[in-house]
Every structure is written in structure tokens, then in C-alpha cells.
Amino acid sequence: MDREIGTAPQAPAIRHPFRFEGSGGEYFKIWIVNLALTIVTLGIFSAWAKVRSKRYFYGNTYVGDHNFDYHGSPLRILLGRAIALVILLGYSATIHFMPKMTFAWGFFFFFAIPWLVMSSLRFNARNSSYRNIRFNFTGTYGAAFGAYILWPLLAAITLFATYPLARRARDQYNINNHAFGGKYFHAEIPGAAMYGIYIVGLFIFLGFVAVAAMIYAGLRPLPLDPKNPATMIPLVIVFGGAYAFSVLFLVNFIGTKIFNLAVSRTILADRFQFESALSPLYMTWLTFSNLLLTLTTLGLFYPWAKVSVARYRVERLAVTGPQDMDGFMSDLVTGQGAIGEEIASFFDIDIGL
């Protein structure tokens, strides 16, 4: 019997989870040396400290059998911080000596912020690699101006009714202008889902207020008397505590939900689908417990706190794609051309502090 000839079936997609292999004890040794040398050098070593820390976290983040790497130059980072310091000193001098000219700095930052964001994103991308293949960022100043200036202005004009769309524009600018070996990431984040996250967040905040009001009423406090501070104490404690906890939870709730949404809508080269499954409740607990332990240990717990957050965030990520990762990587090496050589550009600096 003749056998029907058809196309060969495609190999099933494989889920590749991320993992983090660092530890708080290991990072403590790097952190304490960084801290000591930064203090001794009056902050100059902070650029080298940043590179050492990034290399540790990148080097302990794995997909499959391979880890990421960071190649940032401390001198470039130091240059960026020197520029930021000069700007800060100029702003302070203007306020002190020529206060009527302070408005000029508003115009400067209005046009400079998009360039600062674009430069920082480009620096970090071009100095990051996976399996010796560099990432890249090709976002333009005009697109950055739209995402970081025009959209926030529109949100303010509309009394923040369009803020979810402004946040979407920013995230899509960041994702869609990143590339890996010449292949671009792409994300289409639905506006309705963004609005849904913020609407749920609003109801959660109102829920905190309602619970605080019921607790305050149940305490049967004395009538409020501005002349008697003692009558204000229960109000400050109950509503102040509710506000602080609601902010802590909402920052984590909105942040993790948007991160999950953006990552899960991201694909690479039409072959790799990313996913994220962060839990807002667990992130809130992690943030609160780490903050409490860091304060009670006078900062010494900070390395373990940072590692615990990094481990959780990394290990809730995964990418689904072809089983033959080596073949795909070979294609990227062939197609990336001179992208890895562009790092010498003078304006590839990290302006962040």
C-alpha cells in the first residue's frame, strides 16, 4: 500500500524553567567588601561594586545548562554617575544663587529624561549576554519621549483615567525594542487587562479603608478633639497602619500582576513564549519579612533579602520553545552581525545611581 507523503511533524515545544543558584552567604562576602571599599573611596568604588553585584546575580541565573553574564564597564558607570552629580550640583547652585532660573531645569529634565532612560536601557542590554550572545536595545529618543513624557502628561490631564494605557506604552517600549542576537522580543499587552489590574487594586484599597473604619468604630474612641492629641492617637494608628499596609500590598499586587501580564505576552523570534507566575501575596510577605529582618539586623540581612527576592522572581519564570536550543543559538550567532561590537559607543553609559 502506498504511504501518504506529508510534511514531517514539528518537534513539540519544551518548557525551559529559569533557576537561580546563588546564596545569601556568598553574596554577603561580595556585598560587605563592596560596602567597605565604597565608604573608604568616598563612593568612587560604587561603580565597581555595581558591576560585581550584577555579575554575581547574572552569573547565577540559568536557563537550561547556561547562565547569563554581565559585561558592563565600571568606568562607563562612573562616568554616568559623574554626569548625574554635575547635573545635581548645577540644579542645587541654581536654587541657591539664581532661584528665578530654577524653571529652566524643568525644561531640561523634560527633554533629558527620555534620553537618560534610553541610554540606561541600551547600556544594560548591550552589556548583558546569554551563551556569549549579546542583547541589544534599539529604542529611539522620539519613542522614549512618547512613552515617558507624553503618555504620563495625558494621564495627568485625564485625572489618571488613562494611566493604565500610559503604563502599557512604557512597558511595550521597553520590551519591543530589546533584541537578542538580532532577533527582537515582541509584546502586545491588552489595555483591558491593564485596566482590570488597576480597577481591582482600587477596590482592594477601598476594602482596606472599610476594614480600618470598622476597626476604628469598634474601638469606641473618644470624640476627636484637635486640642487633645490623645483623642487622635487611635485614628492615626488604625488608619496610618491600614494605609501603610495597603500601599505595601498594592505596590506588590500591581507590580507582580503587570509583570506577569507583560512577560506572558512576550515572545522572541516567534519561537519562544515567556511566562511568569509571581504571587502578589508571597511577594508582599517577602518584602515585609525582608524589610523587618534588615531593620532588626541593622542592615546585615540585606544580602540574604536581595538573594531571596532574586531567587523567587527568577524561579517563577520560564520560556517555552524548541527543544533544539543549540540550533537556534547557532542561527543567532550567524545573524547578530556587529551588534556585539557597538558597545564602544561613547553614549552607552549607565546614568543610574
φ, ψ for residue 277 (rounded to 5)? Answer: -135, 50
Q: DSSP readout, 110-152?
A: HHHHHHHHHHHHHHHHHTEEETTEEEEE---HHHHHIIIIIHH
How far is the C-alpha of 184 from the C-alpha of 178, rounded, in Å?
6
Number of Cα atoms under 13 Å in the Cβ half of residue 269 = 18
**Cell triple for 136:** 541589544
**Cell triple for 199:** 480597577
Residue where the block lists cell 537556534: 328
Cβ contact 145:179 at 8 Å: no
- Cβ burial of 278 (10 Å; 0-12, 13-18, 19+) is middle
Cβ contact 234:216 at 8 Å: yes
Residue where the block lists cell 545635581: 88
How far is the C-alpha of 244 from the C-alpha of 251, rounded, in Å?
11
Query: Under DSSP, is residue 198 helix (H, G, I), strand (E, B) or coil?
Result: helix
Q: Which residues contact 81 (CB under 8 A, 6 or more apart)?
A: 46, 47, 351, 353
pLDDT at 259: 98
φ, ψ for residue 274 (rounded to 5)? Answer: -95, 160
Nearest to 70 by CA among 78, 60, 58: 58
Give the per-residue SS3 of 62-87.
EECCEEEEECCCHHHHHHHHHHHHHH
Mind listing the pLDDT tens digit of every residue in the chain (353 residues)? 444 444 444 557 889 999 999 999 999 999 999 999 999 999 999 999 999 999 999 999 999 889 999 999 999 889 888 888 898 899 899 988 888 888 899 899 999 999 999 999 999 999 999 999 999 999 999 999 999 999 999 999 999 999 999 999 999 999 999 999 889 999 999 999 999 999 999 999 999 989 888 887 777 666 766 667 766 777 778 888 888 889 999 999 999 999 999 999 999 988 899 999 999 999 999 999 999 999 999 999 999 999 999 999 999 999 998 766 666 665 555 544 433 333 333 444 454 44
Sign of CA dihedral 352, 309, 166, 248: negative
Residue where the block lists cell 509583570: 259
Contacts 24+ apart (CB under 8 A), 304-313: 304/24, 304/27, 304/28, 306/27, 307/20, 307/22, 307/23, 307/24, 307/27, 308/24, 310/20, 310/22, 310/57, 310/61, 311/20, 311/22, 312/278, 312/282, 312/283, 312/286, 313/278
pLDDT at 288: 95
| pTM for this prediction | 0.87
